[in-house]
């Protein structure tokens, strides 16, 4: 399986540095038999195996399109209550923008809604990627016999291909709610504007039930001055705000993170560290106010807009009945919040 790499530090399965595209395609849909040939072409262009697809009699597909062309796909092979997640691929020129993550999350939601309670996969190159999405390494003998008899299990070598699984059936009573505030990490590339605004907003609206943090994949090392000025003007908390690396939250002594939200497309497409606490994740994209060039008034307007885009999402999040939602329903709600159209009420 091929998954997105991280700018400057992670490499694709073909050994080439992944190339950024100018804009991420947004059209994701359920695929069908006519899309199978496009999936095969994508896999072949990525140097991934396709021979075992000839023996598959039924395959659910989810695809992502850009300008009418399929640029990413993932398949699901069903075996009663279990299913084999397979053939995840994103065209090289469209990698590093979170498309692989979006495909997996959509497929998980569809599988859960149709009664699948366990996903199984084999990967030779993407163990780290799937671990960041909550998959755990499992012994091949622990998966159902029907899955082990699949063409993919018969053809991929046990020495090189890692078996991973994820349960989709966790109910609220099976999950232990923390006896502390929920820790929420907001990620962007520079950690100088959007993610810091989100951290402050959550610490304001969370009312002690949530604790906000922020970090960047390539932190700038300083907070944008308009970020601090706007928060001060609105009476929002600024104590402890600083630009820092996301590695601070992946090592020993870091607070256990319950939720991770990316607020820029670049961070959504990079391979995050493996968070020890296996948090739930979603993408809440916001335009970068720090990238605006113009007058001071225009820059301030951009920061106000970013705050307006973030605030209703954070309000919706803190009002979710987290204790009463099963894991897949909660994941679906988090994704929907990221897709919501913000309320355009004034911010300062």
**Which residues carry out catalysis?**
188, 264, 272
Q: Tokens standing for 51?
A: 């021979």
* Strand intervals (E) in 124-177: 136-137, 162-167
Residue of 107, 79, 122, 80 whose CA lies nearest to 331: 107
Contact 62, 29 (CB under 8 A): yes
Distances 343 to 96, 181, 192, 207, 280 between C-alpha atoms, Å: 29, 27, 24, 21, 25
DSSP string computed for 199-241? HHHHHHHTTTSEEEEEEESS--SS--HHHHHHHHHHT---TT-
Residue of 187, 209, 163 whose CA lies nearest to 317: 209
How many other β-carbons are positioned within 10 Å of the β-carbon of residue 286? 25
What SS3 state is found at 260?
strand
How many other β-carbons are positioned within 10 Å of the β-carbon of residue 252? 5
CA distance 77 to 288: 39
Task: State CA 67 to chain mean position distance.
Answer: 23
Dihedral (CA of 286, 196, 109, 250) sign: positive
Contact 162, 137 (CB under 8 A): yes
Task: State CA 189 to chain mean position distance.
Answer: 15
């Amino acid at each position: 399986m091929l998954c997105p790499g991280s700018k400057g530090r992670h490499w694709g399965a073909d050994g080439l540095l992944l190339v950024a595209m100018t804009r991420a395609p947004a059209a994701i849909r359920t695929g069908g038999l006519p899309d199978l040939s496009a999936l095969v072409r994508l896999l072949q262009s990525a140097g991934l195996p396709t021979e075992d697809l000839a023996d598959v009699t039924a395959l659910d597909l989810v695809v992502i399109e850009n300008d009418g062309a399929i640029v990413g796909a993932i398949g699901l092979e069903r075996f009663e209550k279990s299913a084999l997640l397979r053939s995840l691929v994103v065209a090289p020129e469209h990698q590093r923008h979170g498309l692989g993550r979006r495909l997996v999350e959509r497929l998980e939601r569809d599988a859960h809604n149709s009664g699948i309670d366990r996903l199984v996969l084999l990967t030779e190159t993407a163990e780290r990627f799937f671990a960041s999405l909550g998959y755990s390494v499992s012994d091949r003998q622990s998966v159902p016999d029907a899955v082990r008899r699949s063409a993919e299990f018969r053809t991929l070598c046990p020495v090189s291909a890692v078996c991973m699984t994820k349960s989709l059936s966790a109910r609220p009573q099976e999950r232990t709610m923390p006896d502390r505030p929920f820790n929420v990490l907001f990620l962007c590339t520079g950690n100088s504007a959007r993610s810091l605004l989100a951290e402050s907003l959550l610490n304001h609206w969370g009312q002690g039930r949530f604790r906000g943090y922020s970090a960047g994949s390539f932190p700038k090392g300083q907070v944008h001055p308009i970020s601090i000025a706007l928060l001060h003007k609105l009476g929002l908390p600024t104590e402890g705000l600083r630009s820092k690396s996301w590695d601070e939250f992946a090592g020993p002594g870091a607070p256990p993170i319950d939720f991770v939200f990316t607020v820029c497309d670049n961070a959504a497409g990079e391979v995050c560290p493996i968070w020890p606490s296996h948090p739930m994740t979603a993408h809440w994209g916001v335009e970068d106010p720090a990238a605006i060039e113009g007058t001071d008034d225009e820059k301030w307007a951009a920061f106000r807009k970013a705050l307006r885009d973030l605030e209703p999402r954070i309000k919706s999040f803190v009002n979710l009945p987290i204790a009463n939602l099963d894991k897949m329903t909660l994941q679906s709600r988090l994704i929907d919040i990221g897709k919501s159209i913000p309320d355009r009420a004034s911010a300062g």
